Amino acid sequence: MTAPVSRVLNALTRRHAVKVASAASVEDCCMAIGEVVGHECIMSASKMYNATVIFLNTIDKANELVEQGIAIDGLYTPVLFLFQCHQKR
């Protein structure tokens, strides 16, 4: 038996999240990310400003995505850590 969804989502932090700065749809970003880390690893996805923010089930999967990047419509698209995007400089 798996944990209730609300408990799993409450356990996520900004370190579980990545940002894809692309005009591509949320669905296209999720499909590209799923090809790299597995579709089952995506916990939540949303469009925020002109980027897509995706929460993954482990921090290791977020690290893997940032290292590799993704391809959307055949174009390399960098993936950034969400927690670095919001730090004060």
pLDDT in tens, 38-66: 999 999 999 988 899 999 999 999 999 99
Using DSSP's 3-state secondary structure scheme, residue 31 falls into: helix
Residue in the structure block whose two tokens are 């005009």: 23
What is the extent of the structural domain holding 72? 5-85
Question: Would you mind telling me the total number of residues written for the chain in this entry?
Answer: 89
51 neighbors 78 (Cβ within 8 angstroms): no
Distance CA 31, CA 29 (A): 5
Domain total in the chain? 1
Give the pTM.
Answer: 0.83
Kindly tell me the sign of the dihedral angle through the C-alpha atoms of 81, 13, 59, 48.
Answer: negative
Over range 70-77, report the average pLDDT. 94
CATH of the domain at 59: 3.30.70.330
CA distance 78 to 41: 19
